[in-house]
């Protein structure tokens, strides 16, 4: 009986496979072992989380509609784990988004968890830990999804390369988290270095450095060198997973043509430097049209903060020059950190490429105003939306909502807006005390939702920070950016409904606003949060539920924590 | 119907309570919040695990037959947790022994786990983390169980005080564990300081010290001061939870009369210094009979290793002298680290008190010879028993065995002995390659089991370490100690079957053997292991199963990991 059933299932699957429109899609199978190891990515030895011995982890290379299977074994000693596939919408597989507390329970030490999802759009994406502050410990990598064989991009290039940017702290994520969550609040401070493709260079002579842990001649921290052939066009896929820093990236003497952002084609424009915020990806085309007898600096530097972090340096190596040969020049300094205008202008400039525009719905069904505030809640420094700071429930929302375990979190939704008439974004928050919640926003399925992110002054006088907001499970249309205070009556008239770019991560500039629109058409439960690791840790996020009744049967592998500890499928 | 049932239950419970022989036993209810905090126990600031903000955690004070309920909330960020109640036999509650991987799954972040057990014997015990190397991070404390009202000890004293000793590392347990479990083995090295009741003193001027984290004037690291009244007798309950160090403890100018060891009365004997090994407890009587016009040093120092760790200092404060007033003398140096004889002799001297002897069974049903070896298994440095190094299964053995999930670990038991004829304990291990196992020893219920621990040379020439072996769920009789190689034909004739002390932890001295006997009469699954944190982490332990069919229904709270992830009770 059993074997007959199996045979039937096999037969049915064969039929399904045969009829599938993506018949040439492949399965890409990865086995990852995650553990702590000592590494010296910037010459300073510290404990990092590696995948198969590496940080950044292996690059996932796939074609559109491929199925990615990643078997993650947690070989950390006492610590759990979850990995988010940033930019992959997880259509039909909301349980594999990898967001601990939202879509799954964490993976316990010794356990192997299998992620399985389809990469349904070409483009540049990333993966990283999404649990506590583990991303900062080094668990991250690139995802590159190319078009199916025979299809081509609307731009030409000879070679395709990935670069992932990060900032790097010498203190452990535990130390950072303990400082952030203490009554005696301790800010993690500026990162010690910037990493390009996992390599940076900390000055071991910096006062206070434990010399025994710092070795400037360690080959691990030799600058990343990208070898290029003269006279060619390179597609550089640039990703930022920084914990904190907004970055500028530039290649000495070379223009860059922006052609892709977060998996969407951009109407091409040329920049000398690319501003990139944590959670964003861009593809730029670079023509190797400079003097081929030398190498050039590729550099990245912190913008938007008056940071002490030195720039990150890599070598743009013109073949056949030696890849380690230093360029004869001083590395270009990059733009001044305090200029908001160039960053704001780049944001505005990014539009959908002609011929590849997905028009947004004309009107929203629901408008949410999200005031970004810093608060002191019961003595703890927090980040909040509308003065409400977010704490993850102990039971992942996807499971709680799908299985009607509504007792596991507050059922009163957080506020949809703020008193925009009274608001003065340039003063310290008059409602600094604030509150916390573990509640979610429940959206009508298929609704068109506008979110306007409004930046304000932080708790520090004359300071407003940059927040890159990332939405899981969706791409949104970027309707507009504005300086100052958003006017809900007038500013929507200026929205770009003609050729807005779609993205999954968008910057909110200091003392500014950013408006996005998305369709709540992906059944599941999705986090929307500031991608600054410390900011989300301090409560800067919200959760959207949509179409929970359309979510398929949850895999039992995502359960086992909070109220789902004893929850098993029959 | 439901309310009638409830009423009936209530009525039945009332009857049970009324008829209970321990009618005056009480419930002691604790709520503990466990988290990371920055503390400076030895003046050097580092991240430690606290209970309700403290390390050591709160002392559990109870009377014999009381029920202890501890609700542990895991407020660590990404890290799980388990707490072991060291010395409590957990009769009838083997699932609350708190040994991660053996008796329970770990407690997840955000979860609250309730331990509930009876302290059925008076005496001095301890609790500490039993997961990864978390004990070293500061999660430990004292348990003091006194006699029921109206009963008294066979010795008199005026006051009862607890002191807990520890050694202290500045590196995180993650860093230590990563070093120990690397192919590129890195030994954690000697601890930076010794703590008496959680307080020590590291010299901030030590070269290489990060001065910004070291503050010699921090009140947190002022020496522990124990105020005593002159002319009185104090019972000092001394506990060691060291990660590594064997210790000597002494109070300048004062004799100590040993009266209790691991909850059992000792035939009194007087010492000037007490040797104590990790996992042991002693009660000593101290008469405050010295010049009352001054204070005295209470000190502890490392023995058995040529350690760089400075002695730990506390003040034995004669009232009404100021408790912070330094004694006018130089702290006594303590015994020479390298002398095995005095330590060996103290071990031999500890016998059961006359009138309180529990006679051991005359003959064993089973004899197990446990050769303690260091090995290099597949390039990893390990500790082993009979050249087999232990790895915990991913599914706790208690659950796996009770629920017949035998696929979760190797069913071939580890070896019971070694070739004692060929053995040369003074040479480096000729079988250094060794193997690993996750198998257990299954003992016939109620069997009398002898275990002879045989020490050998480590991988270092002319070195044999001290291993304090701790048995969960039992007290064993200490049948004897011997120098050199155990002779299974002749040495048992010298066993002390007359007045052997019962203990739960016993030292194995360098190049020596130790023989213990226990009754396998406590249904459950029990760890027996070296209490040196790094040694157990490196595989120095075994697991005994006994009477698994007599174990009651397991609480579902201990499940949720490994093969029990989807395991739920109907």
Angle at alpha carbon of residue A369, lines to A367 and A374, rounded to 5°: 160
What proportion of chain A, given as a percentage, has pLDDT over 70? Answer: 95
Whether pLDDT at A12 is above 60? no
Task: Give me the helices (H) in A313-461, please.
Answer: 340-349, 397-402
What proportion of chain B, given as a percentage, has pLDDT over 70? Answer: 95
pLDDT of residue A25: 84
Task: Tell me which residue has tokens 């000055």.
Answer: A203
Q: Nearest Cα to B524, choosing from B546, B543, B555, B556?
A: B546
CA distances for B160 relative to B278, B282, B292, angstroms: 22, 13, 20
What strands lie across the sheet with A505-508, from one edge to the other?
A: A441-443, A541-546, A524-530, A467-471, A505-508
| Sign of CA pseudo-dihedral A368, A369, A374, A375 | negative
Q: Inter-chain contact A566–B566, Cβ cutoff 8 Å? A: no
pLDDT of residue B569: 39
Backbone phi, psi, residue A176, to 5°: -65, -50
To the nearest whole Å, the CA of A343 is away from the closest chain B CA by: 35
DSSP-assigned letters across all residues of B217-266: T-GGGSPPEEEE-TT-EEEEEEEE--SS-EEEEEETTB-EEEEEETTEEE
CB B57 within 8 A of CB B211: no
User: Which long-range contacts link B417-421 to residues 24+ away (Cβ below 8 Å)?
Assistant: B417/B368, B417/B369, B417/B371, B417/B386, B418/B369, B418/B371, B418/B386, B418/B387, B418/B454, B420/B369, B420/B454, B420/B485, B420/B486, B420/B487, B420/B488
Tell me the C-alpha distance between B478 and B264, whole Å.
12
What would the pLDDT profile of A63-94 be if each residue is shown by its tens digit? 999 999 999 999 999 999 999 999 999 999 99
Please state the rounded mean pLDDT for residues B81-95.
98
What would the pLDDT profile of A340-349 be if each residue is shown by its tens digit? 999 999 999 9
Tell me the C-alpha distance between A481 and A506, whole Å.
10
Contacts of B302 (CB under 8 A, 6+ apart): B167, B190, B194, B245, B246, B247, B309, B311, B337
Q: Inter-chain contact B80–A80, Cβ cutoff 8 Å? A: yes
Q: Nearest Cα to B392, choosing from B544, B537, B557, B179?
A: B537
Whether pLDDT at A14 is above 50? no
The confidence band for A211, taking pLDDT boundaries of 50, 70 and 90, is: confident
What strands lie across the sheet with A502-503, from one edge to the other?
A: A435-437, A388-390, A380-385, A366-377, A448-454, A512-519, A476-483, A502-503
Return the beta strands (E) in A122-243 as ranges: 123-129, 140-146, 159-168, 193-196, 225-228, 233-240
Q: Inter-chain contact B108–A561, Cβ cutoff 8 Å? A: yes
Q: Which residues of B touch A177 (CB under 8 A)?
A: 36, 77
Which of A38, A208, A394 minimises the CB distance to B111? A394
Whether pLDDT at A379 is above 90? yes
Which of A310-319, A429-438, A521-530, B541-550 has the weakest average pLDDT? A429-438
Q: Nearest Cα to A137, choosing from A49, A77, A200, A36?
A: A49
What proportion of chain A, given as a percentage, has pLDDT over 90? Answer: 91
pLDDT of residue B566: 67
Whether pLDDT at A324 is above 70? yes
pLDDT of residue B417: 95
Q: Inter-chain contact B561–A175, Cβ cutoff 8 Å? A: no
Q: Inter-chain contact B566–A565, Cβ cutoff 8 Å? A: no
Angle at alpha carbon of residue B513, lines to B512 and B517, rounded to 5°: 160
Please state the rounded mean pLDDT for residues B152-166.
97
CA distances for A305 relative to A247, A309, A335, A458, A554, angstroms: 10, 10, 12, 13, 43
**Which residues is B168 bridged to in the sheet?**
B193
Whether pLDDT at A228 is above 90? yes
What would the pLDDT profile of A403-440 be if each residue is shown by its tens digit? 999 999 999 999 999 998 999 999 988 888 999 999 99
Task: Tell me which residue has tokens 């000697």.
Answer: B190
Q: Inter-chain contact B108–A106, Cβ cutoff 8 Å? A: yes
Q: Inter-chain contact A80–B36, Cβ cutoff 8 Å? A: no
In a 3-state reduction of DSSP, which class is residue A135? Answer: helix
Tell me the C-alpha distance between B249 and B226, whole Å.
14
To the nearest whole Å, the CA of A79 is away from the closest chain B CA by: 4
Fold equal for A159-349 and A366-564: yes
CA atoms within 13 A on the CB side of B136: 28
Which of B172, B211, B560 minimises the CB distance to A172? B172
Tell me the C-alpha distance between A44 and A200, whole Å.
10
Fold of domain A15-146: Immunoglobulin-like (2.60.40)
CA atoms within 13 A on the CB side of B346: 25
Angle at alpha carbon of residue A408, lines to A405 and A411, rounded to 5°: 90
pLDDT of residue A570: 30
Whether pLDDT at B348 is above 80? yes
The confidence band for A248, taking pLDDT boundaries of 50, 70 and 90, is: very high
By CB neighbour count within 10 A (0-12 exposed, 13-18 middle, 19+ buried), where does A53 fall? Answer: exposed
Q: Which residues of B touch A186 (CB under 8 A)?
A: 38
What would the pLDDT profile of A19-38 be if each residue is shown by its tens digit? 444 457 899 999 999 999 99
pLDDT of residue A208: 81
Q: Tell me the pLDDT of chain A averaged across its residues.
A: 94
pLDDT of residue A569: 39
Q: Nearest Cα to B564, choosing from B208, B102, B250?
A: B102
Whether pLDDT at A129 is above 70? yes
Q: Nearest Cα to B82, choosing from B532, B540, B546, B527?
A: B527
* B534 alpha-carbon distance from chain centroid: 13
Please state the rounded mean pLDDT for residues B330-348.
96
Q: Which residues of A touch B137 (CB under 8 A)?
A: none
pLDDT of residue B570: 31
Please state the rounded mean pLDDT for residues B94-111.
97
DSSP-assigned letters across all residues of B414-460: PPS---TTT--TTS--TTTT-EEE---EEEPTT-EEEEEEE----SS
Tell me the C-alpha distance between B56 and B168, whole Å.
12
Please state the rounded mean pLDDT for residues A284-296.
98
Contacts of A402 (CB under 8 A, 6+ apart): A548, A551, A554
What would the pLDDT profile of B512-526 be if each residue is shown by its tens digit? 999 999 999 999 999
To the nearest whole Å, the CA of A288 is away from the closest chain B CA by: 42
How many residue pairs from chains A and B have C-beta atoms closer than 8 A?
Answer: 121
Q: Nearest Cα to A152, choosing from A224, A88, A45, A64?
A: A64
CB A38 within 8 A of CB A47: yes
pLDDT of residue B431: 84
Q: Inter-chain contact A110–B567, Cβ cutoff 8 Å? A: no
Task: Tell me which residue has tokens 């120098």.
Answer: B483
To the nearest whole Å, the CA of A190 is away from the closest chain B CA by: 17
The confidence band for A210, taking pLDDT boundaries of 50, 70 and 90, is: confident
Q: Which CATH superfamily is domain A159-349 in?
A: Cupredoxins -  blue copper proteins (2.60.40.420)
**Which residues is A225 bridged to in the sheet?**
A315
CATH class as words, domain A366-564: mainly beta
Q: Which residues of B touch A131 (CB under 8 A)?
A: 78
CATH tag, B159-344:
2.60.40.420
pLDDT of residue A566: 67
At A543, which helix (H) or strand (E)?
strand A541-546
Please state the rounded mean pLDDT for residues B15-44.
80
Q: Which residues of B touch A133 (CB under 8 A)?
A: 77
CB B31 within 8 A of CB B114: no
pLDDT of residue A4: 52
**Which residues is A480 bridged to in the sheet?**
A515
CB B425 within 8 A of CB B454: yes
What would the pLDDT profile of B401-416 be if each residue is shown by its tens digit? 999 999 999 999 999 9
Q: Which residues of A touch B174 (CB under 8 A)?
A: 36, 47, 77, 172, 174
CB B69 within 8 A of CB B29: yes
Q: Which residues of B touch A569 (CB under 8 A)?
A: 566
Q: Nearest Cα to A387, choosing from A404, A372, A397?
A: A372
What would the pLDDT profile of A499-519 be if each residue is shown by its tens digit? 999 999 999 999 999 999 999
In CATH, B12-146 is 3.65.10.10: no
Domain locations along chain A: 15-146, 159-349, 366-564
In a 3-state reduction of DSSP, which class is residue A440? Answer: coil
Which bin fits B462, alpha (ψ -120 to 50), beta or left (φ > 0)?
A: left
């Amino acid at each position: 009986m059993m074997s007959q059933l199996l045979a039937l299932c096999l037969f049915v699957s064969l039929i399904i496979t045969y009829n599938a429109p993506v018949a040439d899609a492949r399965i890409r199978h990865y086995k990852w072992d995650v553990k702590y190891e000592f590494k010296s990515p910037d010459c300073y030895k510290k404990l990092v989380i590696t995948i198969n011995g590496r940080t950044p982890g292996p690059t996932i290379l796939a074609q559109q509609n491929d199925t990615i299977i990643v078997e993650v074994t947690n070989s950390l000693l006492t610590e759990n784990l979850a990995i988010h596939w940033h930019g992959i919408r997880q259509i039909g597989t909301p349980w594999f988004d990898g967001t601990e507390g939202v879509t799954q329970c964490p993976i316990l030490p010794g356990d192997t968890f299998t992620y399985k999802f389809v990469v349904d759009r070409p483009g540049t994406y990333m993966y990283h830990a999404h649990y506590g502050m583990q991303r900062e410990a080094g668990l991250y990598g690139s995802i590159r999804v190319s078009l199916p064989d025979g299809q081509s991009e609307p731009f030409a290039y000879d070679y395709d390369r990935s670069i992932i940017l990060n900032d790097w702290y010498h203190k452990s994520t535990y130390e950072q988290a303990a400082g952030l969550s203490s009554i005696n609040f301790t800010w993690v401070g500026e990162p010690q270095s910037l990493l390009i493709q996992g390599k940076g260079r900390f000055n071991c002579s910096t006062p206070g450095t434990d010399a025994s842990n710092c070795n400037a001649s360690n080959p691990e921290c030799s600058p990343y060198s990208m070898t290029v052939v003269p006279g060619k066009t390179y597609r550089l896929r640039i990703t930022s997973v920084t914990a904190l820093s907004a970055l500028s990236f530039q290649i000495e003497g070379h223009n860059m043509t922006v052609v892709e952002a977060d998996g969407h084609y951009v109407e091409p424009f040329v920049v000398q430097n690319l501003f990139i915020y944590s959670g964003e990806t861009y593809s730029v085309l670079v023509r190797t049209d400079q003097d081929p007898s030398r190498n050039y600096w590729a550099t990245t530097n912190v913008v938007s903060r008056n940071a002490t972090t030195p720039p990150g340096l890599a070598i743009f190596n013109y073949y056949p020059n030696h890849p380690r040969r230093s360029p004869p020049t001083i590395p270009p300094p990059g733009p001044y950190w305090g200029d908001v205008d160039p960053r704001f202008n780049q944001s505005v400039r990014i539009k959908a490429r002609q011929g590849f525009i997905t028009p947004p719905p004309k009107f929203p069904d629901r408008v949410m105003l999200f005031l970004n505030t810093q608060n002191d809640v019961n003595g703890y420094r927090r980040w909040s939306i509308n003065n409400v700071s977010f704490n993850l429930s102990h039971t992942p929302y996807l499971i709680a909502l799908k299985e009607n375990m509504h007792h596991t979190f507050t059922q009163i939704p957080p506020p949809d807006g703020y008193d925009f008439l009274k608001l003065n974004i340039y003063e310290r928050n008059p409602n600094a005390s604030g509150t916390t919640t573990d509640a979610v926003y429940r959206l009508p399925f298929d609704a068109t939702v506008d979110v306007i992110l409004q930046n304000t002054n932080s708790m520090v006088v004359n300071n407003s920070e940059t927040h890159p907001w990332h939405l899981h499970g969706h791409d949104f249309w970027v309707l507009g950016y504005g300086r100052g205070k958003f006017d809900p009556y007038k500013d929507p008239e200026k929205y770009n409904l003609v050729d807005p770019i779609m993205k999954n991560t968008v910057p909110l500039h200091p003392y500014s606003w950013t408006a996005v629109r998305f369709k709540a058409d992906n059944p599941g439960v999705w986090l929307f949060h500031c991608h600054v690791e410390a900011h989300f840790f301090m409560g800067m996020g919200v959760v959207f539920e949509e179409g929970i009744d359309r979510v398929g049967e949850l895999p039992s592998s995502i359960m086992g924590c909070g109220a789902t500890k004893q929850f098993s499928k029959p």
